[in-house]
């Protein structure tokens, strides 16, 4: 009788450990706004893998802190306002022509990203705000998980 109870306890602890590990690596965010239409609409839920700016590629969709530049993106996800944008330029790449007037460099500076919303007419992004600090990345969108 003790063996089945011990096995159940160990199994439950393993599941709890896996869920705790996943919570630290993944987060689900809900889109609130139209800057990424038609790719994502308000109410869409996105699975995001937490990551740093290292290893990102042009075209990846990322979640980035929109908090003031003086406020580092640490703490709980709910402590910040997050935005969903597509990477249009990485450090060392040419600045895309559509953001050339807001980014005073021909090459994306080290530690910076050029981010654009898919809905250019309704997106606050690098076209209006300049480059974003790579350290502000929460993670990369893996897929849509529902509405």
Nearest to 132 by CA among 74, 80, 91, 97: 91
DSSP secondary structure letter of residue 117: -
Calculate the CA 102 to chain-centre distance.
Answer: 22
**Residue 68: pLDDT above 60?**
no
35 catalytic residue (yes or no)? yes
Q: What structural domains and CATH numbers belong to the chain?
A: 26-146 (2.10.109.10)
Q: Quickly state the pLDDT bin for 79 (edges 50, 70, 90).
A: low
Direct distance between the N- and C-terminal alpha carbons of the chain, in angstroms, rounded to an integer: 45
Q: Judge whether 60 and 84 are in contact, CB under 8 Å.
A: no
- pLDDT at position 147: 77
pLDDT digits (tens, 9 = 90+) for 25-56: 999 999 999 999 999 999 999 999 999 888 89
Query: Catalytic one among 12, 39, 85, 126?
Result: 85
| Collapsed DSSP state (helix, strand, coil) of residue 3 | helix
**Residue 74: pLDDT above 50?**
no
Instruction: List all residues 6 or more positions away from 121 whose beta carbon is below 8 Å from its beta carbon.
Output: none
71 catalytic residue (yes or no)? no
pTM: 0.79
Query: Catalytic one among 35, 65, 123, 126?
Result: 35
Residue with tokens 């406020």: 71
């Amino acid at each position: 009788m003790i063996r089945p109870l011990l096995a159940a306890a160990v199994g439950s602890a393993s599941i709890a450990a896996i869920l705790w590990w996943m919570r630290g690596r993944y987060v689900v965010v809900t889109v609130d706004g139209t800057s990424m239409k038609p790719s994502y609409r308000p109410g869409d839920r996105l699975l995001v893998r937490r990551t740093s700016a290292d290893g990102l590629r042009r075209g990846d969709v990322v979640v980035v802190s929109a908090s003031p530049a003086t406020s580092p993106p640490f703490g709980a996800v709910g402590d910040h306002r997050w935005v969903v944008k597509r990477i249009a330029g990485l450090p060392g790449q040419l600045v895309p022509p559509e953001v050339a007037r807001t980014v005073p460099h021909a090459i994306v500076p080290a530690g910076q990203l050029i981010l654009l919303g898919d809905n250019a007419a309704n997106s606050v992004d690098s076209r209006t705000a300049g480059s974003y600090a790579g350290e502000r990345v929460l993670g990369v969108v893996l897929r849509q998980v529902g509405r």
